[in-house]
């Protein structure tokens, strides 16, 4: 028996938001691996967009004055030519992965819920995140693991 995907747990999200007194919410919930999005494009897209829709619908209904930080990704820009540097916010969005496309969808949904319902949503297009417990499929944890292993082996 498989567990219910997070994006299908709209009622649980609604219950949490309804019972909270949150003034600020930082939305980082997603499958954040570009590699995973290529192997599972449908699951990645559904998860990443529907989690966000469930969250902002609950906020609209239960705490519409809550400020939301909607974390996007540099993957929205896609490949950037050297001549296009530095990247600026008005840079055309040209995603090159299902993950990047889902992040653009989240940004568009943010704009819709801002203009349609007046939700206080701040959007970013963040670049690399690092921190404790990040999976080794990401570059920084992978490099750290390799350095530690090399040191242990006296290399």
Give the chain's domains with CATH numbers: 6-124 (3.40.50.720)
**pLDDT value, residue 112:** 97
Residues of the chain with pLDDT under 70: 1-8
Tell me the three state secondary structure of residue 97: coil
Give the strand pairing for 24-27 and 120-124.
unpaired
**pLDDT value, residue 1:** 45
Q: Any alpha helices (H) in 63-132, and if so which ranges? A: 98-117
**pLDDT value, residue 3:** 66
Check if the beta carbon of residue 30 is closer than 8 Å to that of residue 48.
yes
Note the pLDDT tens digit of each residue in 125-148. Answer: 988 777 777 778 777 888 888 999
Residues 6+ apart with CB under 8 A from 101: 45, 95
Residue spans of beta strands (DSSP E) within 13-151: 24-27, 67-71, 120-124
Please give the span between the terminal C-alpha atoms of the chain, in angstroms, as a whole number. Answer: 45
**pLDDT value, residue 29:** 86
- Global model pTM greater than 0.85: no
């Amino acid at each position: 028996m498989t567990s219910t995907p997070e994006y299908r747990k709209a009622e649980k999200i609604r219950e949490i938001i309804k019972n909270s007194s949150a003034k600020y919410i930082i939305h980082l919930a997603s499958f954040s691996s570009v590699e995973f999005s290529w192997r599972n494009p449908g699951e990645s897209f559904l998860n990443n967009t529907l989690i966000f829709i469930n969250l902002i619908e609950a906020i609209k209904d239960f705490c519409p004055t809550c400020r939301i930080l909607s974390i996007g990704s540099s993957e929205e820009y896609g490949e950037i030519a050297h001549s296009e540097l530095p990247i600026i916010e008005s840079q055309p969005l040209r995603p090159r992965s299902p993950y990047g496309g889902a992040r653009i969808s989240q940004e568009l949904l943010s704009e819709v819920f801002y203009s349609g319902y007046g939700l206080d949503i701040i959007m970013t297009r963040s670049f690399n995140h690092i921190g404790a417990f990040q999976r080794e499929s990401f570059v920084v944890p992978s490099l750290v693991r390799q350095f530690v292993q090399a040191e242990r082996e006296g290399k």
